[in-house]
Chains A and B, each alone.
Chain A
Amino acid sequence: DSGVTQTPKHLITATGQRVTLRCSPRSGDLSVYWYQQSLDQGLQFLIQYYNGEERAKGNILERFSAQQFPDLHSELNLSSLELGDSALYFCASSVSGRGGTGELFFGEGSRLTVL
């Protein structure tokens, strides 16, 4: 158990719909990262938040948005879903700052299927 909690574990929805994926980082971790892993693909970086603020943005589509709340949990919102958005979405957290080792702790992922 990494200490990172993601919900839901599985989600099936239709094209054009909107979904929200939720992530609770490890206790004390200030950074939250979102990665997308399509079938047989690598880990594509979407976005990073640090203590409530956006820190880095990767190849995140305009239809996608995210935020980190004061309690440090994060949500990834995916809208106007397309078939190609079907993927495993990982959240990861890290300590960041002084004392950080650089290690990312991944959640179990949320598997999104768009039909």
Chain B
Amino acid sequence: GENVEQHPSTLSVQEGDSAVIKCTYSDSASNYFPWYKQELGKRPQLIIDIRSNVGEKKDQRIAVTLNKTAKHFSLHITETQPEDSAVYFCAASKSTSGSRLTFGEGTQLTVNP
């Protein structure tokens, strides 16, 4: 089955700096790659996603890049703010029509004021 590896497990940045989280996946059939944010004690929520026919997607301060050849994708957060502090999970699946998501182990991002 699919295996998703995520790095780093913890990341600490100063407010205003950029943060980058990287993931690799094993199943070349995967074509949907979402990122979820989980604040302390809360449920995971989708923040951005990318499909395999797109190399990059941006939404305000958040961007995701995908390299299908290398089977890796990354989350980029610019101008970080304290409220960006959370656990971020990458995930992969074979379709958007109801296939299971396989999650990475998560990255604890801390933005220091």
Interface of A toward B, CB cutoff 8 Å: 2, 30-31, 33, 35, 41-43, 45, 48, 50, 55-56, 58, 90, 94-98, 100-104, 106-109
Whether B101 pairs with A100 at a CB distance below 8 angstroms is no
Whether A96 pairs with B43 at a CB distance below 8 angstroms is no
- CB-CB under 8 A from A50, the residues of chain B are 98
Interface of B is mostly: loop
Interface of A is mostly: loop
Which A-chain residue is minimally distant from B2 (CB atoms)?
A45
Q: When chains A and B are docked, how far (Å) is the Cα of A62 from the Cα of B43? A: 26
Interface of B toward A, CB cutoff 8 Å: 32, 34, 36, 42-46, 49, 89, 93, 95-106
- CB-CB under 8 A from A58, the residues of chain B are 100
- CB-CB under 8 A from A90, the residues of chain B are 43-44
**Separation in Å of the B38 CB from the closest CB of chain A?**
9
Contacts A94-B98, A100-B98 hold; do A43 and B103 have CB atoms under 8 A apart? yes
Whether B98 pairs with A106 at a CB distance below 8 angstroms is no
Q: When chains A and B are docked, how far (Å) is the Cα of A41 from the Cα of B67? A: 26
Q: Out of A42, A55, A107, which one reaches B98, CB within 8 Å? A: A55
